[in-house]
Amino acid sequence: MTARPATYLGKDLLGLEDLRRDQILAILDTAEPFKEISERPIKKVPVLRGKTIVNAFFENSTRTRVSFEFAEKRLSADTVSFAAGASSVAKGETLVDTARNLEAMRIDMVVMRHSSSGAARFLGERIASNVVNAGDGKHEHPTQALLDLLTIRDRLGRLEGVRVCIVGDVLHSRVARSNIWGLRKVGAEVAVCGPATLLPADISELGVTVFRRVEDAIEWADVLNVLRLQLERMQGGFVPSLREYNRVFGVTRRRVEQAPRDLVILHPGPMNRGVEIDSAVADGPHSVILEQVTNGVAIRMAVLYLLAGGAPEAAEAAKGGSNL
């Protein structure tokens, strides 16, 4: 294959484990001017005019897929979306065959979600087009973590020294892994909290603090990132019942009100209300869940712009309509 010229982020965005601190901060800084585009009457700039992006979602998604589609359209890219169930994959075609056929149509980027960990890297090593990982198995979900970082920085004004506790089903969560990598690289302190059955056995090796009681986590943290129970990935036996999980580990209004400081509450969605988080918390003054959704579009615009060859320092000019 003919390699594309290297960009500031490299050819692909596969995960935050591979990124340097300066690259993570550059994505956050690049997203800032793109936020304003979404507030305009005409929500579009010609930055990616002429670029073709394929959204290949081999796993169900609503929020991430729609967020990427908004980002692509606001940058004026031509987009094609397909789901595995309606594609040749359902007839037995391999991932590489599908991608190579798409690339033969002269596409520029592939945004891919897949149920297999490592699928994005596997694809990126075999096609010349840029690959963006929109979630691969239980491995990483880099753009979700980036929008979480941006939301925390927006609310607290900093990331260095912020205490962030990830609460819930860490074992099955690609969001947790990307957040741990990203937060630690920008100087935040990271902890996890959940039942022992929902924490990886080697979690402490990632440099995080482990809390066994959610009350202790709340006492320690500035930010709680609450993860849903991924019931579709569980075969049973991880928790006694949803009601019991909420009683022991749920982020409830009573627990939040007893915190020694004002907490910032994040949730990547979709939420199991009344299980890992109460509606009063999700919709309350501590919640930045809707801000996460808004920031998701800006982050994905920034990632696409940088992978297409845009320079971080030129993002402000790009917002005004200049081409790459």
DSSP per residue over 89-132, as a string? GGGT--HHHHHHHHHTT---EEEEEESSTTHHHHHHTT-SSEEE
| Among 254, 266, 197, residue whose Cα is nearest residue 226 | 266
Q: Distance between CA atoms of 310 and 324, rounded to whole angstroms?
A: 6
DSSP state of 17: T
Position 298, amino acid: A
CA torsion sign for 62, 16, 184, 187 is negative
**32, 34, 46, 47, 60 from 320: Cα distances, Å:** 13, 10, 9, 9, 35
Write down the catalytic residue from 114, 139, 141, 228.
141
| Among 240, 230, 222, 242, residue whose Cα is nearest residue 270 | 230
DSSP per residue over 35-72, as a string? HGGGGSSS----TTTT-EEEEEESS--SHHHHHHHHHH
| Among 82, 113, 142, 129, residue whose Cα is nearest residue 300 | 142
Q: Distance between CA atoms of 284 and 159, rounded to whole angstroms?
A: 23
CA–centroid distance for 22 within its chain: 18
- Annotated catalytic residue 233: no
- Annotated catalytic residue 64: yes
Strand partners, 57: 83, 113
Write down the catalytic residue from 51, 65, 74, 113.
113
- Annotated catalytic residue 319: no
- Annotated catalytic residue 63: yes
DSSP state of 191: E
Q: Please, what's the b/e burial string for 217-228 (b: 16 or more CB within 10 A of its CB; e: otherwise)? A: bbebbbbbbbbb
Write down the catalytic residue from 7, 63, 100, 253.
63
Write down the catalytic residue from 30, 64, 79, 143.
64
- Annotated catalytic residue 43: no
Q: Distance between CA atoms of 75 and 227, rounded to whole angstroms?
A: 31
Residues catalogued as catalytic: 63-64, 91, 113, 141
